[in-house]
Structure 1
Amino acid sequence: MKIKKKLIIVPLLLVFMLGISAAQAATILYVPQDDRPVSLEDVVDTAEAAKLTVLAPPAELIASRDKKGDPDQLWQWVKDHAGQADALILSGDALIYGGLVDSRTHEFGEAVLKARLERFQELQKAHPFTRVYVYSTVLRTPQGSAGGVEPAYYEQYGGNIFQLTALRDKEEVEGLTKKEKKLLASNLAIIPPDALADWMQRRQKNFDINSSLIELNRQGLFKFFLLGRDDTAPYSQSHKESRELSILAADLPQSRFQTFPGADQLGMVLLARAYNDLTYRIPIVKVNYAAGAAKDSIPSYEDQKVGQSIVAHVVAAGGIVLNNPLKPDLIVNVNTSATGKTLEAGSRKNTTVLTPALHQFVDAIQAQVEAGKQVAVADISFANGADNALMTELSRRNLLDKLSAYSGWNTAGNTVGYAVGQGMLTGLTDDQDRKRLLAVRYLDDWAYQANIRQALTEEFVYPNSGSPVYLNELKPQLTAELEKRERQFAEQHLWLPPEQITATFPWNRMFEVNVNIAPE
């Protein structure tokens, strides 16, 4: 059921009640940036658990590891189905380049990109009263790359390109020392001129597209535009471009535009935003940090403090952060490292030893749960996986199935986006669905990313001269071992029968898994 303009003339309470009814029967059209579980399946699963109907494109149109997305056919699909939806959540990267990886590797000319961009105006003219939410990304600047997810030259010269552009960014912001100037010149001499020119040309196309999306947002075509900053750093080409794009968007209110680090969480954040808009809700969120660097941490792969990012995520999802609200709709507990330095979850330092600070942190979570609050945990103490000490203590206290949401995967922004987005939505789900969504995250973020991945790599991949980014002939053996270990983990820590769990490597690499829990 579409929400009609005439609703604004009825009493506010009735508007609110009708909004809830409309949202619970609402249909969301969702175009993901690719078919990875965190981009597609997890978002759709969360939406459907919240009683939303989701329209997603057929698999053959969506970017995957071994094929590019089809922007023109995706646009046609959106055109054919937009009239059936109450809100559209659209990946700009998918609709303009084909997908997230395609945004880095495509060979499209400016005329083609501009023509696809103009379709946003055609969409608005055809459906002027439908809420449109768009998310896009600033092209990432990783310190290295493997597996064909950047242009081929980046695998050899990526470290030099990162360092060169980081120094150029720093030069603009605060200047360089003599040593840094020499390092800049050294990197410039190493990188082939044609490779650097190609990379900067790709970035310029991406910058121009994002600038145009900001302008379309300014013109009122979008209900909200969310700009993510994929793998970045305090000084980097991505940081430089985001500074410039933020200046371009400086006149846009926070209720229309946000930008923050991360890419893979953007669909989940906008799902929560669409739901909150449809229900006329503005969730009040309280944020609680573990002792230590807390909100002043600057995590790996990001370019700003955690405290700033969390507020931006909550606002983008349609909520508001208050310091001491009497009745928060959601409490987000953020587990940061005591020092502010983010190690990898596969590090030997990710042990089960509980520190006094973590003990106190879990005490607070337990008190919130026992008080009947909606409690989410954003576990960002380590990058690319959960904190073993935190999770072991939550398990010991039987708190794992009591949370509203948990996340601890990949970058801090990815984790925060899922904790906030799912946290806002899972209070609306059945208890069985809430526990299932939690179990998927525990099996992925804690079991696999923090523990099983490293073990399988050391025990099977390297001894067999395999590659973590191309599993190929090792994939059947790794899949069988993965599923066995996920089930062993569930038997030890979770509440569901292990035989319900299946797990696969959807992108033929060790970086991510797809965890499924069959219904009982």
Structure 2
Amino acid sequence: MNNKKSILTAIFLLLFFIHVPGYAQTLMYVPFDNRPVSNEYVVDTVKKGGFDILVPPEDSLAARTRSANPDQLWEWVFAHAKEADGVVVSADALIYGGLVASRTHEISEDVLLERVANFQKLKELNPSARIYVFSTIMRSPHASSGGVEPAYYETYGPAIFRIHALQDKSEMEKLNKKEKKELETLNAQVPKDIMEDWVNRREKNFKANLQLVYAAKDNLFNYLLIGRDDCSPLSRSHQESRWLSKEAADLSASKYSSFPGADQLGMLMLTRAVNDLTFTIPTVSVIYTQGAGNKTIPSYEDTPVGKNVRDHLFAAGFVPLLSDKSADMILAVNTPIDGWTREAGMESNKTKASKETLAFVKQIQGYLQAGRKVAVADISFANGSDNAFMKEMTNNKLASQLESYSGWNTASNTIGYTIGQAAFAQRMTAADKNNLIAVRLLDDWAYQANVRSDLMNEVLIPQGISNVQLNEMRPALTQDVTKRIQNFAQQNLTEFPLEKVEVSFPWNRMFEVDVKAK
């Protein structure tokens, strides 16, 4: 009798787990803000992957000229909490009002910590929902413009960055006499009230992240991911990440991670949520271009790319394998031969393919001809695709055979996006999968690596137009950029039958565009 009961129980549990993927179809998502890479592109990926996704109304999200109201966002989350099987939310949006707001807010520490405490209420409203939270360590850029930092950072940013780079170094090793003198000189250059403002905001944000780590230790979240936005090997961001890592030392890699980047975090956590909800554990083998390869430390980051790729894969719910023989997918990471990720808009990105690039493309082609699934992370250049690499890929008509492609902004942004879109591609039609690839090629290759710098040199600079406030030039530039990208597509993307391409500047600046392709 006991054996029969045990067998029936086992059958029931088996049937339960088999059917879970069938109903676990609704995700809640609160992005950083309304930028396409944060909101529209991500939501489109999830929907094409066959999942329902609940997202706050766009006018309630942070935009270029406004922060979101965190209390109103929490009200929306609470109102829809019981509808979701998986909850993926930006702590920056729910605590500060958005990613930019996390760097510029004037919110008291008490209010910030009250908002962190709302995660407990979320869990109580839907105890069965899986909760995935992504947050950022406030970035430490070398310099900044366009209102995405406090106004004083345009003047004092380089000095503030260098001061904290030296302080970070002093915690790990002694400064030499020259460095000590430099630190003393720089401290005298930055007004006391400005330094206090910048440090005080960082300290409040650090305490909020610390509370999120404690919440993860209390099993409030299924996963906590903290990104390091625009960091460097020596910086205040790097310093704070070391402090946080000590507090999170006893959290397993199945619960917590921290690595460079910000804009890819939402995509990664949605990917992990779907892998968890569908009991999927994809395996991946990683290959690199000959040269520096996995030892490359990309611009805007503080970690060798080999470690960073592994961390991204684990965070997304993948398992990296050393051998490619049994892996579900190949992740091909296009790295610079010398390990230096130059800017995509530079003349060095106009050269013919090197023998290393040709060999890498041939390696990818071999995998595709063998029927293997391949995703590409193109990080040879920062802020755009590698022209020589992509010319070879499209000349051989390989791009449309990929599972995903990405080559935008920082290396981590690229890595996270291509991992996420490759995962969702397994549940898409070929047409939907190729539509996502086409959008990335139009954005990352056509615009970021080529059209943007051409417009800067041919239009904005000669006319003295700001690249961070397009204003009255925006309509004319929109027409110009659309025409240029359409021409680029006709010349380079013949394997993608595009009927219509629409391009706009959603944040009134040159840094990003919103691309729609049909």
The TM-score bracket by the shorter chain reads over 0.9
State which drifts further: 8-17 or 319-328. 8-17
Q: Is the 8 A contact 1:352 1:392 kept in 2?
A: no
Quick check: 492-501 or 140-149, which moved more?
Answer: 492-501
Q: Do residues 505 (structure 1) and 497 (structure 2) align? A: no
Does residue 1:515 correspond to 2:515, yes or no?
yes
1:105 paired residue number: 104
Partners in 1 of 2:483 and 2:219 — Cα distance? 51
Letter of the structure 2 residue corresponding to residue 169 of structure 1 = D
> Is 1:36–2:35 an aligned residue pair?
yes
Q: Return the alpha-carbon distance in structure 2 between the equivalents of residues 309 and 8 of structure 1.
A: 42
Report the counterpart of residue 5 of structure 2 in structure 1.
Answer: none
| 3-state SS in 1 of match to 2:337 | coil
Between stretches 180-189 and 209-218, larger displacement belongs to 180-189
Distance 1:296 1:15, change over 3 A: farther
- How far apart, in 1, do the equivalents of 2:349 and 2:12 lie? 54
**Shift of residue 16, structure 1, vs aligned partner:** 5.6
Q: Distance in 2 between matches of 1:119 and 1:353?
A: 54
Q: Does structure 1 retain, via aligned residues, the 8 Å contact 2:324–2:330?
A: no
Find the counterpart in structure 2 of residue 20 from structure 1. Answer: 21
Alignment of 1:19-168 (within 5 A): 19-23=20-24, 26-168=25-167
Shift of 1:246: 0.8
* Cα displacement string for residues 163-193 of structure 1 (whole angstroms, at most 9, x for unaligned residues): 0000010111122111111111111111111
Could you say which residue in structure 1 is the equivalent of 2:4? none
After superposition, where does 1:152-191 map in structure 2 within 5 Å? 152-191=151-190
Q: How many residues align?
A: 510
Q: Deviations over 1:22-55 (max 9, x none)?
A: 34xx011100001111100111010001000011
Aligned-residue RMSD, C-alpha: 1.4
Aligned residue for 2:347?
A: 348
Match of 1:230 in 2: 229
CA separation in 1, counterparts of 2:238 and 2:276? 30
Per-residue CA shift, 1:292-350, capped at 9, x if unaligned? Answer: 11111111100111011100000000011110043212211001111111100011000
> C-alpha distance in 1, partners of 2:92/2:116?
11
Q: Distance in 1 between matches of 2:10 and 2:301?
A: 45
**Cα–Cα, structure 1 residues 359 and 159, in superposed 2: closer, same or farther, change >3 Å?**
same
Deviation of the 1:423 alpha carbon: 1.3
Contact 1:487 1:498 in 2 (8 A): no
CA contact (8 A) 1:471 1:509 kept: yes
Q: Distance in 2 between matches of 1:372 and 1:31?
A: 37
- Contact 1:22 / 1:279 at 8 angstroms: preserved in 2? no
For the residues of structure 1 that align with 2:438 and 2:414, how far apart are their CA atoms?
15
The CA deviation at 1:19 is: 3.7
1:250 counterpart = 2:252 = no
**Alpha-carbon distance in 2 for matches of 1:371, 1:17:** 32
1:4: which partner in 2? none
Question: Contact between 2:276 and 2:317, CA under 8 Å: does it hold in 1?
Answer: yes
Contact 1:377 1:405 in 2 (8 A): yes
Q: Which moved more, 1:369-378 or 1:159-168?
A: 369-378
Q: 1:41 to 1:8 in 2, by over 3 A?
A: farther
Distance in 1 between the 2:221 and 2:303 partners?
A: 26
Aligned position for 1:450? 449
Q: In the alignment, residue 293 of structure 1 is paired with which amino acid?
A: A
In the alignment, the residues of structure 2 paired with residue 289 and residue 354 of structure 1 have an alpha-carbon distance, to the nearest angstrom, of 16
Shift of the alpha carbon at 1:115? Answer: 1.3
Residue deviations 1:389-436 (CA, integer Å, cap 9, x gap): 000000110111110000100000000001111111212111110000
Q: Tell me the equivalent position of 1:3.
A: none
Q: What aligned pairs does 1:88-487 form with structure 2 within 5 A after superposition?
A: 88-487=87-486
Tell me the distance in 2 between the aligned counterparts of 1:104 and 1:93. 10
- Asked if the contact 2:345–2:450 (Cα under 8 Å) also holds between the matched residues in 1, the reply is yes
- Tell whether the 8 Å contact from 2:400 to 2:496 is kept in structure 1 after alignment: no
TM-score when scaled to structure 1?
A: 0.96
Residues 394 and 79 of structure 1, relative CA distance in 2, 3 Å threshold: same
Change (3 A) 1:161 1:13: same
> Does the residue aligned with 1:482 lie in a helix, a strand or coil?
helix
CA contact 2:81–2:125 (8 Å) conserved in 1: no
Residues in 2 aligned to 1:14 and 1:254: alpha-carbon distance in whole angstroms = 29
Alpha-carbon shift at residue 14 of structure 1 (Å): 4.5
In structure 1, distance between residues paired with 2:459 and 2:196? 40
Q: Cα distance 1:118–1:447, how it changes in 2: closer, same or farther (>3 A)?
A: same
Cα distance between partner residues in 1 of 2:261 and 2:295:
18
Once residues 8 and 416 of structure 1 are traced to their aligned partners in structure 2, the CA distance between those partners, rounded to angstroms, is 43
Quickly say closer, same or farther: Cα 1:429–1:169, change in 2 above 3 A.
Answer: same
| % identity of equivalent residues | 50
2:498 and 2:27 mapped to 1: Cα distance? 33
Instruction: Tell me the CA shift for residue 21 of structure 1.
Output: 2.1
Tell me the TM-score normalized by structure 2.
0.96
Q: Does the aligned pair in 2 maintain the 1:284–1:325 contact within 8 Å?
A: no
Partner SS, residue 271 of structure 2:
helix
Answer whether contact 2:27 2:54 (CA < 8 A) is retained.
yes
| 8 Å Cα contact 2:361-2:392 kept in structure 1 | yes
Determine the C-alpha separation between the residues in 1 that align with 2:202 and 2:442. 36
Residue 489 of structure 1: aligned partner: 488
Measure the CA separation in 2 of the matches of 1:165 and 1:9: 58
**Alignment partners' CA distance in 2, 1:377 and 1:298:** 18
Query: Structure 1 counterpart of 2:503, which letter?
Result: A
SS at match of 2:347: coil
Counterpart amino acid of residue 438 in structure 2: A
Counterpart code for 1:467: S
Matches of 1:404 and 1:484, distance apart in 2: 28
User: Partners in 2 of 1:496 and 1:377 — Cα distance?
Assistant: 17
Alignment CA distance shift 1:10-1:256 (3 Å): farther
The residue type equivalent to 1:252 in the other structure is: L
Unaligned runs of 5+ in 1: 1-6
Moved more, 326-335 or 310-319: 326-335
Task: Give me the whole-angstrom Cα distance separating, in 2, the residues matched to 1:469 and 1:38.
Answer: 18
Pairwise CA distance, 1:497: 4.9
